[in-house]
Amino acid sequence: MATSSPIAIYFIALFVASSITSTMLAISVPPELTDNLHTDPGAIKLASIDYGRIIKEKPFAVLYPSSLDDIRTLINLSYSSSFPYTIAAKGQAHSTWGQAQANKGVVVQMSSLNSFRNGTGILISGDRSSGFYADVGGEQLWIDVLNATLARGLSPVSWTDYLYLTIGGTLSNAGISGQTYRKGPQITNVLELDVLTGKGEFVTCTSQKDTELFYAVLGGLGQFGIITRARIVLEPAKERVKWLRILYSDFSSFSTDQETLISTTGPSHKVMPDYLEGQLLMSQSPLVFYPQSQHQKITSLVNQYGIVYLIEVATYYDNKNEDKRVKQMLKSLKGFVHGFVFEKDVTYLEFLNRVHDEEIVLRKKGLWDIPHPWLNIFIPRSRITDFDNGAFRNILLKRNFTSSTVLVYPLLRSKWDERMSAVIPDEEDVFYVVGFLDASADDWETFDNRNKDILQFCVNGGIKFKQYLGHHATKEEWINHFGSKWNTFQQRKARFDPKMILSPGQRIFNN
């Protein structure tokens, strides 16, 4: 090993200080690594902020890796030390509760691998008979994967609503959107992973080889290893999208029609949309999707019912007959308000990248880099009507949270893989995603308290929900979250990251 540079000595001193011991650490950090370790206030500040802007924990240092070896060395040093330090891979830090932070540890700024890849971060292979796939660096953004694959007439099959997220970040959660009910979450559309474990081992794993690590990492909240490459399933891309919003004045008709659309049997099966989500429309909801000429009539409907529910569907196409399919789909629906179906025709890219348009507007208004007290939960189908009554009508409406963006749409259990670490509600075939996606520059606690009331309402009513992208204050809450999966999760941690080095910001093992 090379002699330690001043920055390495400083770095070691910080570790010693943090481990509350006067023993000197007998490690020396190779200069090629220390050159990429930053401890300046700018780097530290950036690594202690995320999209949530609620938790701000400072690391000792930030690694801007110039190769995978840098990350491996960083992990090895910690793993082999008697005073291991924590390490968090940071994608875009689009988490909302400090999940990509490492208090007094080291944050790895994954985006800096981009220059090391030198344009090889997204490689497309395969053919028509055996299928196409892309080998993608864990640091890459989904928008870049989309652009690269579209250039070849191909596309990944499963998405998130927003595409400026990293492959490693979404695969550590699940990656869900309106395609999930049909294609499964992003984690079920991965063929192979390269992972650097918490022991510093570099492993290529699949559903056939090193399977335990493969299933652990998918939905594994960064606990078992750092994803450095994922092989993502591709399919031929369509060119255009019919994008509809269909309005409902009551929850029962709304959810019945949503479930008709996702049904894998019955007459509507042939006209299943490619994408299905849902939202609440309330008095302060923006109406940008709808033509100006329709705003007044929509506002009257909202005023009349307090909450209007909307089904958002999309069908992908590249021939002229798509209108027929859309008409057939609408025919299978029973309960929407006559005259309240709105349609747009956009390119495939415009549709998938739709949230970015909102981002541009919000950034201009200074409303992007502000606190986001988000709550995402999965609610079993059998209790979704109770949830509507208790959470939407009683808590949101009565307390005047009518500016909240609220998503609500059903998913099918059969599209998830139980062997993976991601957690969904037990037993029922259908469960609903409900996302309360608030932003507040000056009063995030009010929204957070409301979210706590919603969770308490579920607990009191015996609604067996699961949080998605969630945070839990205690280990007991995590054990409760994982339920029957906890033992496996714990055993996998002991096997792949026994010193509990990775992703401390999730607060599962580092509380």
Query: Which CB sits closer to ligand FAD, 325 or 475?
Result: 475
Q: How far apart are CA 189 and CA 270, in angstroms?
A: 23
Binding segment for ligand FAD (CB under 6 A), chosen from 115-123, 166-174, 309-317, 423-431, is 166-174
- 99 binds ligand FAD, rule: CB under 6 A: yes
Strands (DSSP E) contained in 71-188 are 87-90, 106-109, 122-127, 131-137, 154-156
C-beta separation of 401 from 392 below 8 A: no
* 87-90: strand order across its sheet: 37-38, 61-63, 106-109, 87-90
In the complex, the smallest distance separating the C-beta of residue 195 from ligand FAD, rounded to whole angstroms, is 8
Looking at residues 114 to 143 of the shown chain, list those that interact with ligand FAD (rule: CB under 6 A).
138
Pick from 7, 113, 176, 247: which binds ligand FAD (CB under 6 A)? 176
- Supply φ then ψ for residue 353, to 5 degrees: -100, 20
> Binder to ligand FAD among 48, 86, 155, 170 (CB under 6 A)?
170
* Piece of the chain touching ligand FAD by CB under 6 A; list 8-16, 53-61, 175-183, 484-492: 175-183
Q: Check if the beta carbon of residue 94 is closer than 8 Å to that of residue 141.
A: no
Q: Residue 183 interacts with ligand FAD (CB under 6 A)?
A: no
Residue among 113, 145, 190, 226 that touches ligand FAD (CB under 6 A): 226
Structure tokens at 383: 């209790």
- Angle at Cα 130 formed by Cα 128 and Cα 133, nearest 5°? 80
Q: Pick one of 18, 19, 39, 92: the residue that binds ligand FAD (CB under 6 A).
A: 92
Question: Which residue, 286 or 291, is less far from ligand FAD as judged by CB?
Answer: 286
Q: Is 230 in the site for ligand FAD (CB under 6 A)?
A: no
Euclidean distance between CA atoms 415 and 182, whole angstroms: 7
Place of tokens 């090629």: 32
| Crossing angle between the packed helical segments 475-482 and 486-496, to the nearest 10 degrees | 110
277 part of the active site: yes
Determine the interface stretch with ligand FAD among 11-19, 82-90, 203-211, 393-401 (rule: CB under 6 A). Answer: 82-90
Query: Applying CB under 6 A, which of residues 11, 51, 248, 351 lies at the interface with ligand FAD?
Result: 51
Phi then psi dihedrals of residue 341, to 5 deg: -115, 125
The set of catalytic residues is: 94, 161, 277
Binding site for ligand FAD (CB under 6 A): 51, 88-95, 99-100, 110, 138, 160-162, 165-166, 168-170, 172-177, 221-222, 226-227, 355, 469, 503, 505-506
